[in-house]
Amino acid sequence: MSERVRAKITALGTYVPPRVLNNHDFEKMVETSDEWILTRTGIRERHVVDKGVATSDMATEAAKCALARRGMTPKDLDALVVATVTPDMFFPSTACLVQHKLGAQGLWGFDLSAACSAFVYALQTGAQFVMSGTHKKVMVIGSDAMSSILDYTDRATCILFGDGAGAVILEAAEDGVGLIDFEHEIDGAGGCSLYMPGGGSLNPSTHETVDKKMHFVHQDGQAVFKYAVRKMGDVCEKLLSRNGVTAADIDCFIPHQANQRIIKATADRVGLAPEKVIINIDRYGNTTAATIPLAMQTAMDEGRLKKGDLVLLASVGAGFTVGATLLRWTL
């Protein structure tokens, strides 16, 4: 039987807004300290958008960056998947807004909601179109303006997140090298541990939902922490074992950046040496759907990710959503 066509990443582009909030800025807003934030999370600073800049704006910048690096125009794209939990608005979709901003006539696309796992879910979704042959050039973007849904008086959540975007282009891998396999799982029993209760069909926006701060991120940090440490390790081990790969075979581990302690605990459990683990949470905080493409860029910039490397991606997010991807790096 002939090998099925694989999808591979042929370009990567990223964007973070220029404005930076460091931990000392938070000391002036809430009862916290640089020392607490750094030791409990690993975060030093994060980028945030200015008023009026939305998720689609960051997504469009990341898309332009990826297109330029690939030497393509927006019209070359066949499909677009935008992973986000902070769409500009309920509808139209952020994908429609990005398509329009890019001027990519004839493009098809949609949004995908899976919180912090949304990039790996969108990556796999985009890959399916390439693998089936229905679409040749698929762009996948992870973009989130988390600052738009944070309560900057709640020290337990506001210090954790930042804004940013990352985009990749997926195309067929004629040489058979690219995305190899994935292991994804959703677990709605954990929905109450991390959510934004207001504004949807259950709790439509009213003065009361605003007064009760229901349009902000609500989180049981410890419950999310424990689940993340357990499940990120579980999906990584399952994926590696199914593919006959050991931790020693992995050249680069690019995890979702929610907390440095979660990343280190997962790497330890899976047996991944520290020098293989990409951490940039210190610079960006948790940018939700953007963490993995931003970390891919960091890994390349630092010379820790090279063409041909075997790469493991992993994430846990609100939902709960869990995901891991095994791929050969092709840039």
Ligand X SMILES: CC(C)(COP(=O)(O)OP(=O)(O)OC[C@H]1O[C@@H](n2cnc3c(N)ncnc32)[C@H](O)[C@@H]1OP(=O)(O)O)[C@@H](O)C(=O)NCCC(=O)NCCS
Which helix (H) or strand (E) is 277 found in, with range? none
Six token digits for residue 75 = 């019209």
Q: Is 258 in the site for ligand X (CB under 6 A)?
A: yes
- Active-site residue (options: 158, 236, 256, 280): 256
Interacting positions 22-81 with ligand X (CB under 6 A) = 32, 36-37, 40-41
In the complex, least distance from residue 256 CB atom to ligand X, rounded to whole angstroms? 6
Q: Of these, 63, 214, 224, 281, which contacts ligand X (CB under 6 A)?
A: 224
Six token digits for residue 145 = 């303006």
In the complex, least distance from residue 291 CB atom to ligand X, rounded to whole angstroms? 9
| DSSP bridge partners of 47 | 20
Q: Is 225 in the site for ligand X (CB under 6 A)?
A: yes
> What stretches of 162-309 show up as alpha helix (H) in DSSP?
207-211, 221-242, 260-270, 281-284, 291-301
116 is catalytic: yes
Which has the closest alpha carbon to 163: 290, 74, 255? 290
Which CB sits closer to ligand X, 135 or 218? 218
Number of Cβ within 10 Å of residue 2's Cβ equals 4
Among the residue ranges 219-227, 240-248, 277-285, 299-307, the one whose residues contact ligand X (CB under 6 A): 219-227
Site size for ligand X, by CB under 6 A? Answer: 20
Which has the closest alpha carbon to 162: 147, 142, 150, 141? 147
- Active-site residue (options: 23, 259, 280, 286): 286
135 is catalytic: no
Number of Cβ within 10 Å of residue 242's Cβ equals 11
Six token digits for residue 155 = 């020290």
Q: Is 295 in the site for ligand X (CB under 6 A)?
A: no
Q: Is 159 in the site for ligand X (CB under 6 A)?
A: yes
Q: CA 227, CA 231: separation in Å to the nearest integer? A: 6
> Which residues participate in catalysis according to the annotation?
116, 256, 286
Site residues for ligand X per CB under 6 A = 32, 36-37, 40-41, 116, 155-156, 159, 194, 221-222, 224-225, 228, 258-259, 286, 316-317
